[in-house]
Amino acid sequence: MSLERTLTVRVKRISRETPEILAFELAHPWGRALPGYEAGAHIDVHMPGGFSRQYSLARAPSNAPSYVIGVKRELASRGGSASMHERVREGDLIAISTPRNTFPLRAEAAHHLLMAGGIGMTPLLAMAQALAARGASFTLCVFARGEEHLAFSNALRDPALAPHLRLHLDQGDASQRIDLQALLADRAPDTHLYVCGPGGFMKAVRDAAAKTDWPDDALHTEYFAAPTDANTSTGLPFTLRLAQRGITVPVAADQTAVDALHEVGIDIPVSCQQGLCGTCVVEGDGEGAEHRDFCLTGTERRSKVALCCSRAKGLELVLQL
Ligand code: FES
């Protein structure tokens, strides 16, 4: 049901970053420019076998005549990452969406603290490159199991990033260890925290942020998959009140708001359908919503709702549609 624009791109280069991660460079088939984007953006990749997955763009826009994504082969792959690793070859044409950004750098930040776990480095590397290019204040903390699991290590060796980089390798020197709670407690005013990585890493950083009273509006996360403790219960039926159209739409207990709107001819763009990507977010009475997404900040939740997963707290939810 997605209304995203689809592009065909050629796989220009595939390079091995780690035993589990391949980098794919994607270019226009006839050498034309690809649509621009901002650091933190991602694309949907439509893969052989009918799979579609979201991947962050791993390079700052100013350096980007092409797109670069990193794909980690997941042991529990439902087919997406395995398909990319096994079936896609250099020279192949593949379909992708135009980039969209639900994980942007915040202009109001005086300092940016970027926390990357494993393959979560991809959007944060693009952010670090963009911040370095504009001379902004930032720290990039990269967590990996060991040197051989460090993706995009060549880009990290860029002298422009070196003064900002803190590397933590699980199998590395004890002096490199980063005490998350101490790091987050010792923050300059107006520091914004951006986190991307596997579920366990996200939870560890979020727990440390909670223990240090990190302001919710200055904490930005990008999940690859919904946390295992996510609320996926069906909930109760409710009604959507569409303020601009002046109509109501019933949502059954076993139905999402997106599906209910589709039934009355209103198509909301969707992509992940897990509350991760922000594609389905619309303006509305966020205070009246039971938010089940992982992409909106506390402030955004007051006036926005992710319709692929969130429901009404009560009997009715008002949307600006
Ligand atoms: S479709 Fe991705 S958050 Fe709803």
The domain segmentation of the chain, as residue ranges, is: 6-97, 111-222, 238-319
Average pLDDT along the chain: 90
Alpha carbon distance 137, 118 (integer Å): 23
How far is residue 307 CA from its own chain's centroid?
Answer: 17
Per-residue confidence band for 81, with pLDDT thresholds at 50, 70 and 90: confident
Mutation test of ligand 1: which of 55, 276, 297, 300 has the most ligand atoms closer than 8 Å to its C-beta? 276
Calculate the alpha carbon distances from 203 to 11, 184, 192, 194 in Å: 34, 14, 17, 13
Q: What class is the 238-319 domain?
A: alpha beta
Given a cut of 80, whether residue 64 has pLDDT beyond it is no
Q: Give me the CATH code for the 6-97 domain, please.
A: 2.40.30.10
* φ and ψ at residue 39, rounded to 5 degrees: -55, 135
Please give the pLDDT value at position 1. 40
In this structure, the residues whose C-beta lies within 6 A of any atom of ligand 1 are 270-273, 275-280, 293, 295, 306, 308
Q: Give the architecture-level CATH label for domain 111-222.
A: 3-Layer(aba) Sandwich (3.40)
Mean pLDDT, residues 213-237: 82
pTM: 0.84
Residue 278 CA: nearest ligand 1 atom is: 3
Given a cut of 90, whether residue 160 has pLDDT beyond it is yes
Given a cut of 90, whether residue 48 has pLDDT beyond it is no
- CB-CB contact of 202 with 178 (8 Å): no
CB atoms within 10 A of CB 204: 18
Per-residue confidence band for 253, with pLDDT thresholds at 50, 70 and 90: very high
Which residue is closest in CA terms to ligand 1's atom 3? 275
The per-type count for the chain, helices as H runs and strands as E runs, is 6, 18
6-97 against 111-222: fold identical: no
Please give the pLDDT value at position 167. 92
Alpha carbon distance 203, 6 (integer Å): 33
Rounded to the nearest angstrom, the distance between the alpha carbon of 272 and the centre of ligand 1 is 5
Please give the pLDDT value at position 274. 87
